[in-house]
Amino acid sequence: MPAQGDEPAYSGPPCSNKETSRCARCGATAPINLYGGGGTRTHRLDDQRAVFIAECSACRKSTVAVEYGVWGVTSQISHPRWTRIRTETWWPTGAETTPIDESANVPSEALRFWFEANRCMSVQAYHAAAVMIRNVLSAIANDIGGTDVIAERNLEGKLKKLTGSKPQTEFLLDHMEAIKAIGNAGAHPEDWPEVTEENAETARAVARYLIEVLYEQPQRISNNLLRRNAKK
């Protein structure tokens, strides 16, 4: 806990002018070490951008970040001063601070699309991310629904058959419809409004919730289920 009057530790994405960050790998808010190469904290990409590696002091893993800002003139010509304006992008993204439980048997196809969606988000490719998250939903529907769902070619049909054959998934239909709509917007921009960062983040958060409810929570219950001791 910070002392009274102290500013709380910064817990946003890596910044060259901050001493702490929320690690995108372990989730801890901790001091960071910056490396830009050549003994500097940042590396110049062009007149308005710099890149650096931020190493988390908690897990010793790194995040790559690109910042937008201004290069100033100093007496050290080889090491001009960098003034940050904003963090432009970073990888991995914050979604990976809650890694998926490897023991939860999430289908490999869904995981493949999930990680690809995260990569799209990290470079601000929101339409592509929306499509990948839609693919996560399709893979989950195939896994849970079985052969009749797999045989269905479009996602709307898959969801109808899934909720029809698996009534326990019906309470998640609104969540799945939200992902489908945002994914359709990503795939068919000529027919839908532009997919914003908020839209894509919403789809990703809902997909993460589906993975937790359908895979991780049942696994946790199974792992921690108490059984009556056998009588001697």
Percent of the chain with pLDDT over 70: 86
Beta partners for residue 53, in sequence order = 35, 64
- Given a cut of 60, whether residue 193 has pLDDT beyond it is yes
46 and 53 in contact (C-beta within 8 Å)? no
Q: Which domains, ranges and CATH numbers included, belong to the chain? A: 20-92 (no CATH), 100-224 (1.20.120)
**Residues comprising the chain, all counted:** 232
Predicted confidence (pLDDT) per residue in 74-92, tens digit: 544 455 678 888 888 888 7
Q: What is the pTM of this model?
A: 0.62
> Using CB atoms within 10 A of its CB, is residue 113 exposed (0-12), middle (13-18) or buried (19+)?
buried
Q: What are the DSSP calls for 13-31, one per residue?
A: S--TT-SEEE-TTT--EEE
- As a whole-number percent, the residues of the chain with pLDDT over 90 amount to 41
What is the mean pLDDT of the segment spanning 170-187?
A: 94
Average confidence score pLDDT of the chain: 84
The dihedral built from the CA positions of residue 201, 176, 179 and 145, taken in this order, carries a sign that is: positive
